[in-house]
Amino acid sequence: MAKTGWNELTAKQYIGDFKSTYFGYSLIESIRANAASGGMISTFIIDGLRSKRFDGALLCRSYIENNEVKTQYYIATQEEEIAQSQGSKYIAVRFGVDAVPLIKAFPGRVAVVCLPCEATILNNLRSRDEAFDKKLALVISLYCGHNSEKALTEMVLRKLNPKNKPIKDYRYRFGHWRGNLKLTFEDGEEIVKPFHYFSDYQNLFFFSETEGMQCIDQTGFHADLSIGDIWSMDMKSNPIKHNAIIVRTDAGQAAVDSVNEHGLANVYEVPVGRVCAGQARSLPLHHNVNARAWAGRRYGLKLKPNSDPNLLCWKN
Ligand SMILES: Cc1cc2nc3c(=O)[nH]c(=O)nc-3n(C[C@H](O)[C@H](O)[C@H](O)COP(=O)(O)OP(=O)(O)OC[C@H]3O[C@@H](n4cnc5c(N)ncnc54)[C@H](O)[C@@H]3O)c2cc1C
């Protein structure tokens, strides 16, 4: 059920501590056209590299190997490398194993784009390692309802491509509002389906990562900026798909001020209630999952009750 009647106090219980909240979209046409939403994540990265606030950005791209979708972290140092990461990848990634060593080995300051649980990993690492802390110039968290095991992508691909024809690219979601998915074959053929062809399974937690079922952080409590979609009906008719942006730190605020100053984006402040209303159904799903842990026991699901006040950063 969708929650209504948001105010600053109730909002903080669901999205954590914040300084200010915005809606916005990129003014770089090619970036917005290729984005999962309004292209703000990529625009913050472009602006930070141009302004030399950081030397590289840790991003996640997908590629095809053995006719399967794979993901790869990389550190982009050039603007041209950023578009490769655009779009959401709803497939399990291994941040601690694959991304953290890349960040540590990079000889400069880094912006990191990651999921909420990964922003918490970074927060833990930086709290006990001063050099690592100095390396992180900006942490941007995507909103994340939950991520899925690769088995979900494999199942949807089998449905789309039962004869296992050679594929060239798979895009989970593109286009306005809920959007479409697209499978591109080596021979140039394309299959486009509404995104719900994939997301119906995902929303019903088919092949969900277990951690995702017990997670209370949908928006990235430990990021400088948290960025997601706005699913309010008044945005459906807006021809420009927007991002919601939660600013939590001075570094996040500087990034917002800078993209506006440089004319790279249109970012305007909105009351926090509008940001929460854009996730009115999913925020309550992540708020105190004790009931889910209790009910899950009956079905053999071992979930941790999760209302540990230490996990709720705004109470620390
Ligand atoms: C697992 C997952 C769950 C999501 N859940 C929600 C949700 O509950 N509510 C909601 O509103 N939106 C959700 N999103 C979508 C998210 O809001 C959009 O990706 C974001 O708004 C895109 O903004 P953009 O247009 O600025 O990004 P773009 O400019 O298209 O850039 C996308 C960025 O996301 C990064 N990225 C993509 N996939 C991953 C990944 N798996 N791990 C780490 N980084 C990645 C890329 O490196 C790139 O920098 C989810 C996305 C993912 C991947």
Residue 77, strand partner residues: none
Please, what is the angle between helix 250-261 and helix 40-50, to 10°?
90
pLDDT tens-digit readout, 183-218: 999 999 999 999 999 999 999 999 999 888 889 999
Q: Are 257 and 199 members of one domain?
A: no
Query: Ligand 1 centroid to 263 CA: how many Å?
Result: 23
**Ligand 1 atom closest to residue 282's alpha carbon, by position in its atom list:** 8
Q: Are 45 and 121 members of one domain?
A: yes
Q: Are 250 and 184 members of one domain?
A: no
Q: Which residues, 6 or more positions from 237, have their beta carbon under 8 angstroms from its beta carbon?
A: none
pLDDT, residue 307, reads 57
Number of compact structural domains in the chain: 2
Q: Are 186 and 236 members of one domain?
A: no
Average the pLDDT over each of 72-81, 263-272, 281-290, 305-314 and give the range with the smallest value: 305-314
Q: In whole numbers, what is the pLDDT of the chain averaged over residues?
A: 93
Band of residue 311 on the pLDDT scale cut at 50, 70, 90: very low
Average pLDDT of the segment spanning 138-143: 98
Half-sphere exposure of 85 (CA within 13 A, CB side): 25
pLDDT tens-digit readout, 218-242: 999 999 999 999 999 999 999 999 9
Query: Ligand 1 centroid to 160 CA: how many Å?
Result: 23
**Does pLDDT of 316 surpass 60?**
no
**93 in ligand 1 pocket by Cβ < 6 Å?**
yes
Q: What angle do CA 60, 66, 68 make, to 5 degrees?
A: 50
pLDDT, residue 293, reads 83
Q: Which of 208, 229, 251 lies at the terminal end of a domain, its last residue?
A: 208
Its ipTM equals 0.99
Average the pLDDT over each of 88-97, 165-174, 247-256, 287-296 and give the range with the smallest value: 287-296
pLDDT tens-digit readout, 16-49: 999 999 999 999 999 999 999 999 999 999 999 9
Query: Ligand 1 centroid to 298 CA: how many Å?
Result: 33
Q: State how far the Cα of 129 lies from the Cα of 107, in Å rounded to an integer.
A: 16
Query: Ligand 1 centroid to 240 CA: how many Å?
Result: 17
Q: Are 51 and 104 members of one domain?
A: yes
Would you say how long the chain is, in residues?
316
Q: Are 56 and 177 members of one domain?
A: no
Average pLDDT of the segment spanning 247-268: 98
Average pLDDT of the segment spanning 269-294: 90
pLDDT, residue 312, reads 43
Nearest to 222 by CA among 251, 254, 191: 251
Band of residue 276 on the pLDDT scale cut at 50, 70, 90: very high
Nearest CA to ligand 1 atom 51: 88
| Distance, C-alpha 296 to centroid of its chain | 26
Query: Containing domain of residue 156, as a range?
Result: 148-208
Asked whether residue 298 is domain-assigned, the answer is no
pLDDT, residue 156, reads 98
With tokens 């960040």, the residue in question is 103
**Ligand 1 atom closest to residue 145's alpha carbon, by position in its atom list:** 8
295 against 16, higher pLDDT: 16
